[in-house]
Chains A and B, each alone.
Chain A
Amino acid sequence: MSEHVDTLTHDDHASHEHHGATGILNWLTTTDHKIIGMSYTITSVIMMLIGGALAEVIRIQLTTPTGSLVTFSQYNQLFTMHGSVMIYLFAGPFAFGALANIIVPLQIGAPDMAFPRLNALSYWLYLTGSLTMLAGFFTTGGAANFGWVGYAPMTDSVNAPGVGTDLWIGALLLTGFSAIFTGVNLVATIYYLRAPGMTLFRMPIFTWNLLVTAILILLAFPVLTAGLIMLFCDRHFGTHIYTVVGGGSPVLWQNIFWFWGHPEVYILALPFFGMVTEIIPVFSRKPVFGYKGMIFATLSIAALSLGVWAHHMFTTGVVLLPFFSIMSLLIAVPTGIKIFNWIGTMWGGQIWFSTAMLMSIGFVITFLIGGLTGIYLASPPLDFFTHDTYFVVAHFHSVVMALVLGAMAGLYYWAPKMTGYLLDERLGKIQFWLLFIGTQVFTFPQYIVGLNGMPRRMALYPNNPEWQTLNVWSSIGALMIGISTLVFAINCFYSWKRTPAGDNPWDAHTLEWFTTSPPPHHNYYRLPKIRSERPTWDYNHPDKPALVHGHNHDGESS
């Protein structure tokens, strides 16, 4: 053992073998953040496959103007459940439940999350919530059919009498509480369980982003939960909170929903920003460019995201247009800082184009496209023109497909730490090119057809040859994305127990790569001295000691 390492003396139960239940009983009773995180990962990836399958049916329906694959009612259920499954059951839980659960305690040198039982409860609420929402398909009235935003008059007991709507509300209550508990857990873990020397401004950016995400969860999710309880009362107990006839206001639902909904977009995005910020420096062989700038950009994105909710409601005519327009445009500034810093990190580095790095670069490009079109939409006159057209759909899908690229980057990067085995690089690169090109082929025709005025959420469209061509191209892109997901599934089976990874296959920077792959029960037998935000690198490269932020190894500013 080298002099750089202090043996952990306090963690006596990490040093002996953990005896516990095995098999399904272990899965039911575990409080280990790594097993819970794996359960989250597997469940949310299955949800992505279900949501993706729904999307493929939508795209097949739209290949002809008079598609007859599904009825109008089925189409409404399809786009509602596609959006709901992807946002509530895949993107959110994957962002703050799956990789965050596994990686955050490892990155700060903690033995587990602060509240391990609460963490397990979060998972069970998420799983039962997911099953509850999907159960809507098996009811007589079908699943929820009013769009994933559930705008007020369409969700009342007259317009949506089915039990599918109640299941949708119940599912969101369950997953909402799951998210709140995860948020509490992450904040407490990061505030109280850091290893000695791991000051706040030495934490990896991924952990920083999860801290900010968790605070955003605590600000945003209770609002949605309260709104849903009021909606349930409207449907069953005769209140009139969202109905005009009883003196209520349908726009109140939009205010409540988007007060959660816009921070939610950043709750989804910030963890993936963090993943990419971990990956790009490792595969560029450089420290991250502008460490503190990244943190302040994250904090200001989070703060601004609470003041932009009504930019989804410009066309209601009852919102303060200049305020929300200015706030929305301002978010471009910290996001721009992040993109600048990612490029600055790659600039002059020795770039290793592994799958994780390619996915990260794909993320930056796709997110840039989605972000720039978002700036158009932040301007009320342009928004009046494009509201509820495919332009909005395309903007949103550019953003979220960027997040899928980020998710895949994170999976390829951290799979060795989670399972002990590398994912296959050749299949990974095939997946990347299909996913990246597919995403652009999928969204670009939608931008054009949206500017031409095609409304969203319609099962049919006017018999216009140009629109049909564009829709067929979009469907081809969706098919490529679907095939790339299959390649990923094949890769998971192909790589299972094939190439052992070792503790640190990427020569990475942060603390999680110091322990074994997969980590032992309660994570660490020993920890290095923490003197910078790259403790594992400092330990493995004592000749290249802790660096001033943003400088390369020759001491020059990079």
Chain B
Amino acid sequence: MKNEGRILLGLGLFFLIMFGFYWPLSHEQSGSTMMFFAVLLGFLPGGYYYWWSRRMKPRPEDSDDADMAESAGFIDSFPGSSIFPFTLGMGAWMSVMAMIFGIWLAIPALSLIVWALLGATAEARRGGHR
């Protein structure tokens, strides 16, 4: 997990150095803002991963000589199928259509989205279809 954190921290550091050159030289606001948030996008998750990597048990996927048996046991539940991504996608599409062709389309769009969110939550609590 350490290397995963280091990649993001390294990118954040690079953008910080670049920001240190760019803002004083240009005083250009939009680019500097975007670069500053790129620094945060490197440091926040990167720091979180690095912080966790010092507190967790070493994982078999980070070890040079791990066997398959070391990851034995329940790893996660992967749904075999689910209708709700399709429903949610159609809801999202219709809400974009509502922005363009008329706000009345938001009614079916939001119904689909709410149905999908409730359904997907219930399905995830059941553990999904196998």
Contact = CB atoms under 8 A, between A and B. Distances in A.
Given A196-B63, A232-B99, A117 B30 contact: no
Interface string B1-24: 101100110110011001001100
Contacts of A123: 85, 89
Contacts of B75: 10-11, 111
Contact of B68 (A121, A195, A299): A195
A170 B63 contact: no
B96 A6 contact: no
Interface stretch (A56-64, A303-311, A391-399, A511-519): A303-311
Nearest to A256: B30
A199 B81 contact: no
A201 interface: yes
A30 B89 CA distance: 13
B81 A170 contact: no
B129 to A, nearest CB: 8
B14 A170 contact: no
Contacts of B88: 121, 124
B93 interface: yes
B100 A197 contact: no
Contacts of B130: 13, 18
Interface stretch (A20-28, A266-274, A444-452, A487-495): A20-28
Given A194-B61, A196-B60, A255-B30, A307 B90 contact: no
B27 to A, nearest CB: 9
Interface SS of chain A: helix
Interface string A117-139: 11111011101110010000000
B59 to A, nearest CB: 8
Given A125-B92, A166-B99, A191-B4, A6 B68 contact: yes
A235 to B, nearest CB: 10
A31 B82 contact: yes
A16 to B, nearest CB: 9
A522 B129 CA distance: 13
Nearest to B3: A200
B66 A196 contact: yes
Contacts of B108: none
B79 to A, nearest CB: 5
Nearest to B88: A121
Interface in A195-214: 195-201, 211
Given A132-B96, A170-B97, A302 B11 contact: yes
A513 B48 CA distance: 35
Interface in B67-99: 67-75, 78-86, 88-90, 92-93, 96-97, 99
Interface of B: 1, 3-4, 7-8, 10-11, 14-15, 18, 21-22, 25-26, 28, 30-31, 34-35, 38, 41, 49, 60-75, 78-86, 88-90, 92-93, 96-97, 99-101, 120, 129-130
20 contacts: A6-B68, A8-B68, A10-B74, A11-B75, A20-B129, A21-B81, A31-B79, A117-B82, A120-B82, A120-B85, A124-B92, A127-B89, A129-B93, A174-B92, A191-B49, A195-B61, A197-B60, A197-B64, A303-B11, A306-B18
The 4 tightest CB contacts between A and B, nearest first, are: A124-B89, A120-B85, A196-B60, A196-B66
Interface of A: 6-11, 13, 18, 20-21, 26, 28-32, 111-112, 116-121, 123-125, 127-129, 132, 163, 166-167, 170, 173-174, 177, 191, 194-201, 211, 215, 218-219, 223, 232, 252, 255-256, 259, 299, 302-303, 306-307, 309-310, 318-320, 323, 521-522, 526-527, 529-531
